[in-house]
Amino acid sequence: MSMKKVIFFLVVATGLMAAPVGNPSFPKLIEKGFFIPPDVWLNLRFGYEGDFVTDAKLEQASNLPVDCYRQETNSGTFTMNILERLDIYTLLGSSRTRADWRFEAPEGTQRIELETGYDFLWGLGARGILFEWKGATLGLGGRYEHASYDPVWLTVNGTVESARGTKLRWREWQVDLDLSYKIDIFSPYIGVKYSSVRAKAGNFQTTISVNGTGSNQFTNHTPVGVFIGCSLTTGRYFMLNVEGRLVDEEAVTISGDVRF
């Protein structure tokens, strides 16, 4: 693959907006760390992950669409690598979300807009290398994330309503299968994932759903999505990664790792 194709791949990935997936080659991309010798079977990485979802494509009860669901998360990551074939990782971060949706009520169409503050998000995941051939790597991964948000404001048809004592709980799990190919310091990848998203807003003093209560539940409309990305590293100490996801959501992730 030419350098022009690699640059094109990077541009497309940054232009696309469930949870991040990552490169299937992550377990072996950084060959040398700061302290732990390369021949040791266990090594550690620390890093950063910024995930920015512009539209999660959710739906309410009775298959009513959510007009838009945005989520912004900044996390620190800790990864335990085994034999440069398996990554087991955790992430701890700060996340906020904004959503708007509509439903029909006896008094007419009701439009709800909601935004939360930054609240704690945690996650666990693993990825492993299944097969390698020359510069190509086939990998399998899985991930779970959870957050409990405190809404800071809510409007109904533009009128501000009380959000005191309310909650928005969100969780997601996913599995993915992906393929990468190493080209010098670049490792572009592409894959497919299956995810399950569940979110519940509750304890509101005003009606926010078609069932006439102060609660509402959301699920992902399309469980299958596609992602592309590219990693950059010389194989020593650091790596950077950019990833875009589409079909089931519109999102972009920027991350980096340091090997110790």
Q: What pLDDT score does 61 carry?
A: 80
Length of the chain: 260
d(CA 64, CA 208): 13
Q: Which of 136, 112, 239, 125 is nearest to 191 (CA)?
A: 136
| Chain segment 203-247, per-residue pLDDT in tens | 999 999 999 999 999 999 999 999 999 999 999 999 999 999 999
Q: Are strands 119-133 and 151-156 parallel, antiparallel or unpaired?
A: unpaired
| Chain segment 165-197, per-residue pLDDT in tens | 999 999 999 999 999 999 999 999 999 999 999
Backbone angles phi, psi at 11, to 5 degrees: -65, -45
Overall pTM surpassing 0.85 (yes/no):
yes
Per-state percent for the chain, helix, strand, coil, to nearest 5:
10, 65, 25
In the predicted model, what is the mean pLDDT of residues 70-95?
97
Considering just the CA atoms, what is the radius of gyration of the chain in Å?
20
Q: Which of 141, 93, 121, 105 is nearest to 199 (CA)?
A: 121
